[in-house]
Structure 1
Amino acid sequence: MGTLYGIDGALLERQYRNHLSGYLHWDQLAHAQDWLLFEKNIGAYVCIDEVALSRGELYTILTNKAAHGGKGSIIAIIKGTDVCTVSSVLLRLSRRRRYQVREITLDMAPNMEQIARSCFIAYAKACDRIYHAPVFSNGDTRKQLLARSIYLLYKKESLWTQSQRERADILFKEYPEIKKGYYLAMRLGLIYHQCKFKDVALTRLARWYDEVDKSGFLAFGRVARSIQTHYLNIINFFERRATNAAAESFNAKLKAFRAQFRGVKDKAFFLYRLTMLYA
């Protein structure tokens, strides 16, 4: 749009953010990164869940079902899923508003249940014994710890957020085998990022292969065997650091082009249009 009308897109974005949108005068700006509350949106039927908004950071979101996902849906957005943290924010809502809630739906996460009970259910049904799943220092149960760690295990340690660093410390303490596997994977990546000469790379690949062999990880066996079989070809990468990424990228373009037509009925016509674009 900016190119079409001769407008600097970045400048337009800044002008909209700082002057046109009203963002800088937003009454919740001071605490927006930690919590947001919209008390007037509370209704009789609400739901609570967790969502990863950015880079694996989890937020708890409370919504009004009656809004059907439109305007007035959001009651609260709170950073994290810790029971004490989330409850302390939700308790800022007036008691009169909170007691309007007649039904609250949630998944099987015990922390969501505790939040619902402490903030909305005034008279919970009494029972002899209630099971509370053990919770780690960051607010995760064991199942949540394993499920949420998938975000951090795909990233380098230097790119972890503070909450992911805390989660990794707990995960690696509870599951040392996961820690060993994570650092084996990261060390293989570092060989490709750091080595500039074939002989150095070959030595480090050999050491990595020995580490995998001693670790007993079957999951790394296929990678290790591929390196053992094709190492003479693999180390050619370190001459000019050339990869086949261009071919993979072009293949992705072809798949996207094919997806626009929901498949290919007339192959010759499809190839004709493809060559008109790329040949």
Structure 2
Amino acid sequence: MESKDIFGLALNLSEPWEISEMKLTKLEGLKRGQLDIYIDFVSGSEFRDSDGQLCGVYDSEERSWQHLNFFEHTCYLHARVPRIKQADGKVKTVPVPWARSGSGFTLLFEAFAMLLIEYEMPVNKVASTLRVVPNRLWRVFNHWVEDGVKKDDLSSVTQIGIDDTSSRKGHKYVTVNVDLATRRVIHVCEDRGIEAVAELADVLTSKAGDPEKVDNVAIDMSPSYISGVQRYLPKAQIVFDKFHVVAKLGEAMDELRKQESRGNEQLKGHKYTILKNYKNLSSEKREELDFLLMMYPRLGEAYRLKVMFKEFWDFTNTQEAMAYLSFWCDIVDETDIFPFKRFVKTVKTHWSGIMNYVKARINSGVMEGINNKIQLAKRRARGFRNKTNFINMIYFIAGKMKFDYPYYPL
């Protein structure tokens, strides 16, 4: 078997395509060279038009694609791509089986690059490994992700979580919408608040979903998100995300710690000793916390109330949960812990959304888990300057999309 036949088999070429020539160029003193493989079609070949009719070749144009390396050598495919004249008089370029239209890479090259990204290698690092300019690889990445997003089916979506995250520290935010039932991202947009929910409703409609079939939406206590859900997801119950509510209580606890720290050196350096969950502290830190709570009665009372509040999330009976939360708020109102009193006002203002958690039992931990994945991707990439790249990376790591690029076995 000749080398052309071997490479033809490796490239999975079939009639009328064949290898016409191969050249390996290697400059003196360099270990790495370039392999050029020239592909042509058999003279007199016919190709099918859009209607499936066979047509003769009208003319051809020279094209090149970067392929996977041959050993350490960069490899390129070159071909005389035929154009045919259809019955309607339009001239059409015949698609080649080894590359997608408009790409400068072969399908196998793109599949391998996507596989490396899937294995959590940053895109810029993949580009360096494959010896290509990062922007070219980002275009490949964005093409396949956007193709997968376009074909996504949202017909079964009934429970949604909405949260936002930034592309880089201190930079603009994007809104991430999660299907809580399937634990995946279904839409990411640059807007926030009302505009983000309006866009989500449009996307649901365009992808076989129905905004009126959404039963529950988990959000933070942002007034703009509340207004957006009420307007564009009219039949959805608003459920205030457990983690955001607990975070508000943590902020009240931290404010009290700062107040108590004024003039008290013993509290300096103990921010996380006080804010962390007791079970997450080391035995040494637990002893320090017990001492501080004993020495500072207001801090000790606030810590006890914080622990009591956590019990609310375990209730499954709505009436019992409501009675317990009312009882907890009454206890706080009888104290002189003003940061906690402000938190109680927040709870009463958002009472129905907090109580809906007991009914819906939406697992907002799904959103927290997805956000952790996003933060990890940001750290690996050292932030995203291009917002489109960031949005598509979120889809890629948390969207559970189906992509059409070829499977590349390792």
Larger relative contact order (Cα-Cα within 8 Å, sequence gap ≥ 6): 2
More helix by share: 1
More strand by share: 2
Under TM normalisation by the shorter chain, which class is it? 0.3 to 0.5
Using structure 2 for the length normalisation, give the TM-score.
0.29
